[in-house]
Amino acid sequence: MPKVRTKDLIDEFQFELVSGAEGIHRPITTSDLSRPGIEMAGYFAYYPAERVQLLGMTELSFFERLTPVEKRLRMEKLCTDITPAIIVSRGLDVPKELIEASEKKEVPVMRSPMKTTRLASRLTNYLESKLAPTTAVHGVLVDVYGVGVLITGKSGVGKSETALELVKRGHRLVADDCVEIRQEDENLLIGSAPELIEHLLEIRGLGIINVMTLFGAGAVRPHKRISLVIDLELWDPNKQYDRLGLEEEKVKIIDTEVTKLTVPVRPGRNLAVIIEVAAMNFRLKRMGVNAAEEFSARLADAIGDAEHDYE
């Protein structure tokens, strides 16, 4: 199923549909836009017909200087079987040649009162968001001190219970059980909850609870950038866990690598506090403060001093 159709643009931006109504269900496959200025001059060798075409003052003022035959031919070439839409900005008059060609090829022609640059920016942002690569992961996403923390782990390890404790401590829930992730830009992952389970948390023994109803609107948020992954696993006495934090593990989600911490779970460990500290420590590292590296340097200095005294 196409993620975006021309009709979605009409609904989102309240465009005026001028002609070509038969084609409003055409799919839009790219967030790139085209301002066909050079095509108006007659050069169609590299015409990106699959893009939304945007006509502003520059294109239409040049178009008015063409002969009647040229006008008809240019508009017929502009309207193809794969062109999803042609949008006229600034509320300008739509040329009759464009209306005729669009009706013939069933290409929707729309009009907007917005200025061309502003319209292009808003359209690009909307299409990039809608057409971004997506995936879904089993886990819980929580906003902890402004850091989007994705908590993962096997079923029953305590992800939802930890999220509930974090919400009680003043942090905000984004999604429980299933986290939908969009890569909106390079190294930018945005997580959100499926509409069906938004604001809901499943706690074994209690069932489904509505976090917004129980704790208020300040306890939830609709989406959050994912900056840190914390994987909860049952304590394995035979496994060597990182005790210094010098090695930074990464996990790849779609095309983006995210810092990952593995936290062992066993009775007596306060996971909510550990995750809070992990989020604060992550922020400190981004600000250039690395406690593990500082300790390692101090340890190296101490060993060097001891060797010097021994000599």
* Cβ atoms 46, 67 nearer than 8 A: no
34 in a labelled binding site: no
Q: Which of 177, 225, 260, 283 is catalytic?
A: 177
Residue 143, strand partner residues: 148, 172
How many whole angstroms separate alpha carbon 28 and alpha carbon 127? Answer: 9
- Helix or strand or coil: residue 208? strand
251 in a labelled binding site: no
20 in a labelled binding site: no
155 in a labelled binding site: yes
> Is 138 one of the annotated active-site residues of the chain?
yes
Q: What are the backbone angles phi and psi of residue 107, rounded to the nearest 5°?
A: -100, 120
216 in a labelled binding site: no
Q: Which of 26, 51, 74, 159 is catalytic?
A: 159
How many whole angstroms separate alpha carbon 97 and alpha carbon 260? Answer: 58
How many whole angstroms separate alpha carbon 282 and alpha carbon 302? Answer: 27
296 in a labelled binding site: no
Closest to 113 measured CA to CA, from 56, 31, 40: 56
How many whole angstroms separate alpha carbon 251 and alpha carbon 298? Answer: 30
> Is 177 one of the annotated active-site residues of the chain?
yes
68-78 helix and 96-105 helix, angle to the nearest 10 degrees: 40
How many Å from the N-terminal Cα to the C-terminal Cα in the chain?
75
- Helix or strand or coil: residue 246? coil
* Cβ atoms 232, 271 nearer than 8 A: yes
Q: Which of 243, 252, 266, 308 is catalytic?
A: 243
Q: Which of 25, 138, 169, 269 is catalytic?
A: 138
Half-sphere exposure of 124 (CA within 13 A, CB side): 12
> Residue 20: CB partners within 8 Å, gap ≥ 6?
79, 102, 103, 105, 106, 107, 108, 109
| Residues making up the binding site for Mg(2+) | 160, 202
Which residues are part of a known binding site?
153-160, 202
Annotated binding residues for ATP, as ranges?
153-160
- The set of catalytic residues is 138, 159, 177, 243
